[in-house]
């Protein structure tokens, strides 16, 4: 599939850099949407996942996955849900382990490659729908692409995928977000991640070495001491290499779109694999100059964002 040479996205003039494009929608965007129907399903390891259903009685379903330290109620999730509801789809958003209002039961949290949970959500939805489409943001985008690659052509009901603001290469993206100019983002993520570790340690004191939190200064430190070991990886290095969706793109067998802004403060150069595009049969890359991280705002805040319009266009197009 092609690397699109020209993107039609034009950012608002007053959002004149990637940081503003990232921060503004995260803080100020409001999306009005009907309340979903919440369903809790049990996981195969005795834990649970919370699903939010938006049903119009349609035959096609879009499953939307959120980003690092997000949840199903974030504005970007609701904005994407809203546009698909307006285009004759049912929608399912879900919240990763450890990101909901209630702490999960088991010692593990969520992570960039936890496709076993996405697989359970998909299998649950397959009981009701014959056509399913996947959309993922940031970490959820990496999860989506890795899942599609792992499954290959063994996903008869999954028709297409869209991944937005995706850290295709986890190690270099983690280093990017920890650079001085991006330190506010990493500090914000670390604050909530550390809080979760402390809460989880009260339930699993023998399995979570909360005392080493004093040694965590960067996201890589956190992944080295917690994310990696808690989820079966030796350290951050192994965790990043095993779970980077960049290494699964050539195994994807359904039409998929990767939408990454070139001024995204979270993404490294390896998240824009221009040369790889020529060798991929099913993945389309679109790399607009602007957009920030999970941004792509429009001049009128009440309008749909470019990422939402693009996702609908791609999913409803004929291949």
Tens of pLDDT, residue by residue over 59-68, are 999 999 999 9
- Using one digit for the tens of pLDDT, what is the confidence trace for 214-256? 999 999 999 999 999 999 999 999 999 999 999 999 999 999 9
| Rounded average pLDDT over 172-192 | 93
Confidence at 21, pLDDT banded by 50, 70, 90? very high
| Tens digit of each residue's pLDDT (9 = 90 or more) over 286-296 | 999 999 999 99
Which residues, 6+ apart, have CB-to-CB distance to 239 below 8 Å? 111, 112, 113, 170, 223, 227, 228, 231, 233
Inform me whether the pLDDT recorded for 1 exceeds 70: no
Q: Which domains does the chain have, with CATH numbers?
A: 3-167+245-316 (3.40.50.1820), 170-243 (no CATH)
Quote the pLDDT of residue 319. Answer: 63
pTM of whole model > 0.75?
A: yes
């Amino acid at each position: 599939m092609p690397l699109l040479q020209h993107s039609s996205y034009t950012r608002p003039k007053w959002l004149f850099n990637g940081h503003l494009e990232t921060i503004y929608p995260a803080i100020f965007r409001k999306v009005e949407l009907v309340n979903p129907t919440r369903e809790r399903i049990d996981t195969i390891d005795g834990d649970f996942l919370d699903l939010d259903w938006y049903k119009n009685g349609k035959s096609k379903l879009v499953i939307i996955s959120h980003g690092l330290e997000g949840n199903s109620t974030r504005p970007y999730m609701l904005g994407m849900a809203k546009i698909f509801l307006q285009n004759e789809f049912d929608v399912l958003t879900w919240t990763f382990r450890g990101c909901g209002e209630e702490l999960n039961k088991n010692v593990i949290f969520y992570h960039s490659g936890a496709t076993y949970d996405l697989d359970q959500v998909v299998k649950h939805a397959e009981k009701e729908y014959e056509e399913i489409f996947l959309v993922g943001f940031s970490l959820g985008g990496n999860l989506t692409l890795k899942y599609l690659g792992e499954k290959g052509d063994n996903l008869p009901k999954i028709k297409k995928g869209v991944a937005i603001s995706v850290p295709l290469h986890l190690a270099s993206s983690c280093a990017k977000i920890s650079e001085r100019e991006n330190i506010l983002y990493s500090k914000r993520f670390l604050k909530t991640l550390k809080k979760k570790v402390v809460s989880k340690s009260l339930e699993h004191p023998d399995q979570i070495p909360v005392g080493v939190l004093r040694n965590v200064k960067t996201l890589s430190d956190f992944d080295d001491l917690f994310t990696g070991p808690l989820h079966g990886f030796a350290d951050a290095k192994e965790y990043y290499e095993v779970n980077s969706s960049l290494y699964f793109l050539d195994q994807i067998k359904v039409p998929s779109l990767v939408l990454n802004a070139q001024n995204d403060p979270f993404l490294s150069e390896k998240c824009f694999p221009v040369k790889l595009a020529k060798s991929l049969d099913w993945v389309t890359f679109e790399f607009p100059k602007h957009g920030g991280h999970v941004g792509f705002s429009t001049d009128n805040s009440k309008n749909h964002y470019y990422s939402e319009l693009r996702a609908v266009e791609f999913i409803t197009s004929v291949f």
